[in-house]
Amino acid sequence: MSAPTHEEQRRAWLDAFASALERRDVDAAASLFADECYWRDLVAFTWNLVTLEGRDAVAAMLTATLPAASPRGWAAEGDAIESAEGVVEGRFNFETGAARCKGHVRLRGGRCWTLTTTMDELIGHEERRGRRRETGRCTAAGTKSVGEVGDPGWQPYCLVVGGGQGGITVGARLGVLGVPVLVVDRLERPGDAWRRRYACLVTHDPVHADHLPYMPFPDHWPVFSTKDRMGDWLEAYATVMGLNYWGSTECRNAVYDEEGQRWTVTLNREGKEVKVYPTHVVLATGLSGAPKVPEVPGAATFVGLQQHSSEFSSGKGWEGKRCVVVGAGNSALDICGDLWAHGAQVTMVQRSATLVVQSQTLTGRMLGKWYSEEAVEAGVTHEMADFAQSTVPYRLMPARSKVLFDEIRAANAEFYDGLSKAGFLLTFGPDGSGMPMRYLRRAAGSLIDTGNSELIASGKVRLKSGVEISNAEADALVLNDGTRLPADLVVYATGYGNMSEVVAKLLGQGVADRIGRVWGMGSGLDGDPGPWEGELRNMWKPTRQPGLWIHAGMLALSRTYSRYLALQIKARFEGIPTPVYGLAEVHHKR
């Protein structure tokens, strides 16, 4: 008798799982999982973003959520494949009582190794597009269906604070779902956060990974966008998507009324105080808190210019000047390159080892399967790629990444040798897996090289590594090994604080304490203390502060997770029950 085919294995498992859930037989459902198993649920069962590890966790979740979820209509989609020796995987569709959903399963020996379930759309409350789009006819009542700012008595159901890619993507998602939403930003125009960065900034991810919801970049768009071009696209996007957007508007504070279950938010719009009363507030002010500048003894005596990298604009005007850049991440290397290109004498101070990946490696080996021209030509859309990326539990990423980074180190040995010979300190994470880049992405201590590393390897940009700043003098920085670096300009490319600082500033320390840390997942890596959570803390999901949501991340994360965040808010707007399972514990360790 021949072994079952890939499709037969997927069908047998899916049928058994569907039958067990229909019978509400939690033990039978859990028995279909392997000893080592992971279930990543994005809103579908838990109204949360949760990764369950082990059969006991699976059984506990099903016991709590099955009555409300009422899953049904399980149907395979596409072909089942063997992705690795003994691992069969495939997609499927199903419904809950509230939503249409998608899923993905990996099987080992006929049992589930990884399962991913995601909410796709709310039944009866779908996005207003395609056959559901508005007519746009001019009538006596006008064409507005959810109101606009300025209408008498209009209030946003959701206030989004922050007008960068995070704010406008979730604002666009909510608008298409018909939720009254207002997006505010202290800067004048959408995209200004990009325009105000240093002149040589370009995106570090390929265009294929950077599309915005509903409006992908045109085919002629460059692989890497300049900051100004990206800023212009974000502004055009906000306009075309019809966002209710207030620029030059600062959020001063927000207070939650437990009894009324709404916020009182005080805004300063172009010098005028305005109050709004949303039910939900989404903080989309960026991934980080305030700029971190080291306290340097004697800094007040320095007669040149000291600034954080967020204040640096261009190397123009520093020709022939002595410039010191403290830090060795993305911004530090870009700024070193810009200063050198303008004729400055540049020294980088690298205090600790850095994880470096060349941009062509990122776009090829790391992202190429899903986000590349080849992927597009093979029929892989960015939505398909987003879903595929979501099917890998964070716990499994280190092992996969170690294999990848072993290949990268071998393939790019000459590149890494050149940096090492120049004295640049390299790391590939504590286990060689490329962490924290693969966990935390854009974390301190990692960079994507767009070509400026050659300046370090060739000695065109001088390097001092493995040192700390001891003190400043009138015209120099002094390092703890006694080296004196004469300087006219010092740029501190030393990163930013945690987003918890933003929460405390806008909403009060009490709210910040209530929700705990933001970002990271308890990996135990530097800057991400445990315990392990398995999903990014407080991101795109319910927090322990009612009515508060946090949305941040690079363009791809903003696009992917704005969908799940918007669906959760839309459900509440429509009065759909949303019993949250697995609300995370609060951890305050810094």
What DSSP string runs through 400-440?
HHHHHHHHHHHHTHHHHHHHHHTT--B---TTSS-TTHHHH
Domain ranges (residues) in the chain: 6-122, 153-289+497-573, 293-361+398-494
Tens digit of pLDDT for each residue in 65-80?
Answer: 999 999 999 999 999 8
Least confident of 443-452, 478-487, 513-522, 566-575: 443-452
Secondary structure element (H or E) that encloses residue 357, with its range:
strand 355-358
CB neighbour list of residue 31: distance below 8 Å, 6 or more residues apart: 55
- Of residues 337 and 433, more confidence is placed in 337
What's the DSSP call for residue 202?
Answer: B
Topology of the domain covering 153-289+497-573: FAD/NAD(P)-binding domain (3.50.50)
Which residues lie below 8 Å from residue 189, measured CB to CB, with a gap of 6+? 231, 235, 247
> Do 105 and 49 contact (CB within 8 A), yes or no?
no
What pLDDT is recorded for position 587? Answer: 63
The per-residue pLDDT for range 208-247, each reduced to its tens digit, is: 999 999 999 999 999 999 999 999 999 999 999 999 999 9
Strands 322-326, 489-492: pairing is parallel
- Rounded to whole angstroms, how far apart are CA atoms 546 and 279? 9
Beta bridge partner(s), residue 469 = 479
Segment 274-286 mean pLDDT: 95
Domain 153-289+497-573 and domain 293-361+398-494 have a common topology = yes
Residue 526: pLDDT over 80? no
Q: Return the pLDDT at 36.
A: 97
Domain 293-361+398-494 has CATH 3.30.420.40: no
Extended strands (E) in 247-344: 249-257, 262-269, 272-276, 280-283, 288-291, 305-308, 322-326
Per-residue pLDDT at 477 exceeds 90: yes
As a whole number of angstroms, the distance between CA 264 and CA 520 comes to 29
Residue 463 and residue 456 in contact, taking contact as beta carbons nearer than 8 Å: yes
pLDDT > 50? residue 188 = yes
Task: Tell me the average pLDDT across 260-288.
Answer: 93
Q: Which contiguous run of DSSP H or E holds residue 456?
A: helix 453-457
Separation CA 13–CA 6 (nearest Å): 11
CA 104/CA 467 separation, integer angstroms: 48
Cα–Cα distance between 309 and 307 in angstroms, integer?
6
| pTM reported for the whole predicted model | 0.93
Q: Which of 211, 572, 181, 189 is nearest to 385 (CA)?
A: 211
CA 339 to chain centre: 30
In single-letter form, the type of residue at position 179 comes to V
Q: What tens digit of pLDDT does each residue of 136-169 get?
A: 765 444 434 444 555 667 899 999 999 999 999 9
Q: Which CATH class is domain 6-122?
A: alpha beta
Residue 262 has pLDDT above 60, yes or no: yes
* CA–CA dist 317, 337 (Å, integer): 14
